[in-house]
Structure 1
């Protein structure tokens, strides 16, 4: 345990000193604010009911920009766009170690292989939770500013709703981050891992779900893909009707989505540790 904690502190230091780490996290915060608030506020201010606002009326748009709606709103972009960025982060965090030769150094001179790669998994998990908390606080601040400007309620969501939003966001982004990590371990490099991961998130799963709509025998598979589970969990927090954000689905119930995501989290974490532990780095 002491070695694991020391290795985790070292890996967190590595991530903090890495410009790509801050670029990915900053990009997600920016995109989150853009899709959740900027576009909706522009649509609300101009009175336009277009695709930018998913066709929602002005009063509903305003309610979606208030503090009480933050748990619902800030998870909507995680299923696809946020997930894609966090997959990139996971792929870079693991895959770059092969190109730089740092895995060889750490695994031959540092603690046991399980502790070294376990520290990467733990540090990525801590990063995801911290990112979700920061996004929640930032979104709440922006929502409070909008509510105060327009004379609306500043009431926060219930504690249960806050916990559900933060927990759901952590599960969604955590799953995609570890998916990127295991792809990075498989590909032994960042470039191929990032490319494969993005193709899967943005293209392959959507195509498979489209095929399932006309060929039902594969629906049992497509209904339990990583993106389907993430999108269903985000969709379970929605309280408004109408077109959903891309990637947000209603295929699985909240409980089913959490179980599937938990299974993928365990699978990806175990797969990453096993692959690096069993390989010869020399």
Structure 2
């Protein structure tokens, strides 16, 4: 297993896709969570009562919740793409046969891919958190506001939540890459579900009570509930789309862990049972 993980780490370092995905996500967090709201703040009338509230969420005291607010919707889609590329690229390059005939068992190879995928997603989440800290510090300095940083526990909880959400979405993408034996269909299905069907189900659940149990186990609902539990304003309160409070934070964490476990199990099962040539 150690050899399999080492091999996957080397493969991940040689690929450009994780770097591109990571850089894109860091830029999106800075842009959507800090830069665009700050531009809106700058052009608002100083007499507007919402102006001070907008500035408050951009300052260091709220950096943990603010940096997390983009994960339930946009971050999920980015990490799903990463997961699809982790497994689906092997089909596109016809390299599964070579990967599965050089020593480690099929189970070990797939688990190693998921482990390295989780590490990559965690590294990207950590980079986005660090970039958010810098952005909040810059805004505080420009606006001559005190840099009242949250406690270490709060910051660690924010990074941990970002890593868990990222890992869960990445694992779903990895399972889709195996299920559809490639990247194109897996990406299409994953993004359609993420950006379309989940939002439709969540919206319809407000008027169709029969859909409420379905909404509570959606990956987006669990992600949004974790973020809301850490202090980010919900979508209903004017917060970022995707941030909801449908589940309590502990239940939402369990749902995310369940997606991670089920996706890994599905990927391992399919690779063990299928002819990969």
Q: Give the TM-score, by structure 1 length.
A: 0.92
Query: Do structure 1's residue 156 and structure 2's residue 149 form an aligned pair?
Result: yes
Check conservation: 2:88, 2:183, Cα contact below 8 A.
Answer: yes
Check conservation: 1:87, 1:176, Cα contact below 8 A.
Answer: yes
Offset at residue 56 of structure 1 (A): 7.9
Check conservation: 1:67, 1:144, Cα contact below 8 A.
Answer: yes
Offset at residue 277 of structure 1 (A): 2.1
Separation (CA, whole Å) in 2 of partners of 1:212 and 1:101:
42
Q: What residue is the counterpart of 1:52 in the other structure?
A: none
Alpha-carbon spacing, 1:239–1:214, altered in 2? closer, same or farther (3 Å): closer
Offset at residue 41 of structure 1 (A): 1.0
Separation (CA, whole Å) in 2 of partners of 1:133 and 1:56:
34
**Runs of at least 5 residues in structure 2 that lack an aligned partner in the other structure:** none
Q: What residue is the counterpart of 1:272 in the other structure?
A: 267
**Runs of at least 5 residues in structure 1 that lack an aligned partner in the other structure:** 50-54
Alpha-carbon spacing, 1:56–1:219, altered in 2? closer, same or farther (3 Å): farther
Alpha-carbon spacing, 1:219–1:280, altered in 2? closer, same or farther (3 Å): same
Query: Do structure 1's residue 243 and structure 2's residue 257 form an aligned pair?
Result: no
Aligned-partner SS, 1:244: coil
Query: Do structure 1's residue 252 and structure 2's residue 247 form an aligned pair?
Result: yes
Q: What residue is the counterpart of 1:217 in the other structure?
A: 210
Query: Do structure 1's residue 186 and structure 2's residue 179 form an aligned pair?
Result: yes
Q: Which 4+ runs in 1 deviate beyond 4 A?
A: none
Separation (CA, whole Å) in 2 of partners of 1:36 and 1:59:
16
The CA deviation string for residues 178-199 of structure 1, in whole angstroms up to 9 with x for no partner, is 0100011100000000000000
Check conservation: 1:87, 1:179, Cα contact below 8 A.
Answer: yes
Check conservation: 1:110, 1:116, Cα contact below 8 A.
Answer: no
Check conservation: 2:100, 2:106, Cα contact below 8 A.
Answer: yes
Separation (CA, whole Å) in 1 of partners of 2:258 and 2:113:
19
Question: How many corresponding residue pairs?
Answer: 274
The CA deviation string for residues 180-225 of structure 1, in whole angstroms up to 9 with x for no partner, is 0001110000000000000000001111122222221221112211
Q: Give the TM-score, by structure 2 length.
A: 0.94
Offset at residue 113 of structure 1 (A): 1.1
